[in-house]
Amino acid sequence: MLFDTHAHLDDPALYPDIDNVLKRAKEAGVTLINSVGCDWRSSLLNVHLAEKHPEMIYASVGVHPSEVADIDEQVLAKLLELAKTPRVIGWGEIGLDYHYENTNKELQQKYLRLQISLAKEAGKPIIIHDRDSHQDVVDILQEEHAGINGGILHCFSGSWEMAKQCLKMGFFISFAGPLTYKNARVPVEVAGKVPLDMVLVETDSPYLTPHPFRGKTNEPARVIYTAEKLAQIRGMDYEEIAEITTANAKRIFRL
């Protein structure tokens, strides 16, 4: 039994074939999926998916840092109402992404702080996207006391020093397909040190497909490869890692 804590089932690469995507997940032993929003439209669609497939799908709502230029106070107000509906278990994904040169860092930081505040109001854990923005993410999470309802550093790519700071604030560390890559030295180091009661697995599907399927569309069924790699790193049985990470996911999402 596995919980894919971060997927994008609304994505055009997965949504048209959703019944088969879920069937393959079940066959692989993946019983629960958190489908995560990146803007208003995707958040709403993920909630609809969770309502249609309540036996397997939950949803999280929020605005990705790369999408903040297109939102306003009205969108945030609608997201707050959506976050209070029964199938929503988290607020995200939110965060910072400094990968591109023309990034408006100030705008991203403004909306990260705003969404942290709204997540507190909704009583939801936050799901943090961090790309090339490690220090600013840590600083804002600390300044905003963002861990009050718990949270997840999704597809963690930082150092062990960063992980320790986030763990101290009450954040879970989640690993995706990159943990399986041959050049994954730092993620492997961190995965070997994170306390077992604070570790999660995810796909970020349809992105970040694990080895040996790189270059193909990712989907929730393939979270097993990340869990297998984590078990190998920790010198544990796969079944034990599956049980632990599923229990952790249920705890952070209050299920």
205-226 pLDDT, tens digit per residue, is 999 999 999 999 999 999 999 9
Q: Is the pLDDT reported for residue 70 higher than 90?
A: no
CA-wise closest residue to 155 among 100, 92, 200, 197 = 200
Beta-strand relationship, 171-175 and 199-201: parallel
Integer angstrom CA distances of residue 73 from 36, 77, 212: 20, 6, 43
Would you state the pLDDT for residue 197? 98
Q: How far apart are CA 70 and CA 63, in angstroms?
A: 9
The pair phi, psi for residue 24, each rounded to 5°, is: -65, -35
Would you state the pLDDT for residue 202? 98
Beta-strand relationship, 30-36 and 126-131: unpaired
Note the CATH number of domain 2-252: 3.20.20.140
Radius of gyration of the chain (CA): 17
Residue-wise pLDDT for 158-173, tens only, equals 999 999 999 999 999 9
Quote helix, strand, coil % in the chain, to nearest 5. Answer: 50, 20, 30
Q: How far apart are CA 110 and CA 116, in angstroms?
A: 10
Residue-wise pLDDT for 180-200, tens only, equals 999 999 999 999 999 999 999
Residue 34's DSSP bridge partners are 58
In the numeric block, the tokens 């952790």 are attached to 248
Taking each helix axis from N to C terminus, what angle separates 238-252 and 223-234, rounded to the nearest 10 degrees?
A: 110
Q: How far apart are CA 119 and CA 114, in angstroms?
A: 9
Confidence at 101, pLDDT banded by 50, 70, 90: confident
230-235: average pLDDT? 98
Would you state the pLDDT for residue 146? 96
Fill in the DSSP letter of residue 11.
S
- For the chain, the distance separating the N- and C-terminal CA atoms, rounded to the nearest angstrom, is 15
Question: In the chain, how long is the greatest CA-to-CA distance?
Answer: 49
In the chain, pLDDT over 90 holds for what percent of residues?
98
128-152: average pLDDT? 96
Using CA atoms of 37, 128, 210, 17 in order, give the dihedral in degrees to the nearest 10. -10
Residue 228's CB is within 10 A of a number of other CB atoms, namely 17
**Whole-model pTM over 0.75:** yes
One-letter identity of residue 38:
C
